[in-house]
Each structure stands twice: as C-alpha cells, then as structure tokens.
Amino acid sequence: MGESAKAPATGPIKLFHFSDVHFGLEDRVAIDWVKNRIRAERPDAVAITGDLTMRARHKEFDAAREWIRSLGVPVTVEIGNHDMPYFNPLERIIDPYKRFRTMDAVLEKVMDLGGVTIVPLKTTARAQWRTNWSKGCITRPALAKTLAMIDALPKGTRVLISAHHPLVEVNAKGDVLTTRGAEALEELAKRKVLGVMSGHVHDPFDLIEQTVCGPVRMIGAGTL
C-alpha cells in the first residue's frame, strides 16, 4: 500500500473529487465520462469520498479495483457506509473493513501532492446507538488518528480532509447528524485545514461553516 503520492511542488494542483460511485448499481455513462475527463485533463490525483460500492459485495470491489487501476493517476478513497458488509452482520461486527482493505493495493492514504496534503477522516462505524447506521459517526479513536496525522506533518503544511459524511448539516433537511461531527470540525478549524471534502448526501455543495475555533470550508460532491 502506498503511503503518499507527490506531485511537482511548482504550478497549480489539479484534484478531481467525486463520490458515491456505488459499483453494483453504477452509472456506466457517468463513470466512463469521468474516466475520459481524467485521461484528458490529467489531474494530479483523484479523491473519492466513500460509497465506492453499493452493498460491499466482493464482485463490486473487484469491479471498482479494476476501474481505479485503469485511471492511471493516484487515487485515495475514504470508506463509506455502503462499503461495509450489508448481508453478513457477523462480519460487519467482527471485521467491518476487511473487504475495503482489499483495495489497498490501488489506493493511496495520506496523499502529499507537493502543495497540499490529503488526510483521511473515517466517519463510519460498525454499529451505533441508533437504528440508522448509515449516518455518520466519528469515533474518538478515528478523530484522534486523523488529528495525529495532521500534527505529524511539517509545520505550515496545507491540509485537505477526505471524509464520507458531511461533518455538520448542509441542507434544510437536518437529517445528516454525524455523531461528533461538530467536535471534529472545531478541531480541524484549530489546525487551519483548507477544507473537508465529503459525499453521502448525493448533493454537491461548497460552503463555509463557522465554528467557535474559526471557519472551515466544506466541499461536497454529488453522486457519480
């Protein structure tokens, strides 16, 4: 598994961000279109913010892996709620990320692009104290891990966060409700991150969220 990818330090950085590809129920026209755009524009990297698969079936991960290999650029993918076992509740509890880890050979994690570093934040959990487990949940260990990765970077490093769930509400529905999302956003504001990329809600957005520790830009990609 590669730990980082680095682009030249000079010149602009081009990053493609999309989300919720849902292999198993994928839109072939959409994924062929974005593959052609990647070939034409040659971004420095691609960030996919979760829900790579529909039901975390092995064949869905196989198809996603083959497609990512064909892109020819560094790719980072954050896990989404659809990327954990759906039909095998025992596996979900014992080892919920086992199938997602089969993607490691074609993914990057912390991604150094020369002028900005992408750091992942896991917003999924194997179980929650509520009936709808599709909603975001940032465990304390997950948040601590992300903050430690940021703090270990050289001083002055510009950071983008890659997560699946928006950390706070982004529309009038008020139904995202990511557990500890506001706490995470405040900690990220303290560290002056450039922004938080996410997916999940299937609606694109780009807004500034004000926290008691300062503003944070939140960038959401719609479903691919």
DSSP codes, 85-119? -SS-HHHHHH-TTHHHHTTGGG-BSSEE-SS-EEE
User: How does residue 173 score in pLDDT terms, banded at 50, 70 and 90?
Assistant: low
Report residue 115's pLDDT band, with 50, 70 and 90 as the boundaries: confident
Which residues, at least 6 apart from 149, have a Cβ–Cβ distance to it below 8 Å? 110, 119, 120
Phi, psi of 48 (to 5 degrees): -110, 115
Q: What percent of the chain has pLDDT over 70?
A: 93
For residue 7, name the pLDDT band (cuts at 50, 70, 90). Answer: very low
* pLDDT for 197 beyond 90: yes
Phi/psi at 159 (5° precision): -125, 135
Q: What is the mean pLDDT of residues 172-179?
A: 74
pTM of the model: 0.92
Taking residues 123-140, report their average pLDDT: 94
**Dihedrals phi, psi of 142, to nearest 5 degrees:** -65, -45
Residue 53: partners with Cβ closer than 8 Å, 6 or more residues away: 21, 22, 23, 24, 60, 61, 64, 82, 83
Q: Residue 158 is which amino acid? A: R
User: Lowest-confidence range among 10-19, 65-74, 120-129?
Assistant: 10-19
Which pLDDT band, with edges at 50, 70 and 90, does 223 fall under? very high
Q: Within 13 Å, how many C-alpha atoms sit on residue 113's CB side?
A: 23
Give the tens place of pLDDT for each residue, 99-114.
999 999 999 889 999 9
β-pair type (205-211, 214-220): antiparallel
Residue 85 and residue 96 in contact, taking contact as beta carbons nearer than 8 Å: yes
Per residue in 133-172, pLDDT (tens digit) is 999 999 999 999 999 999 999 999 999 999 999 999 887 5
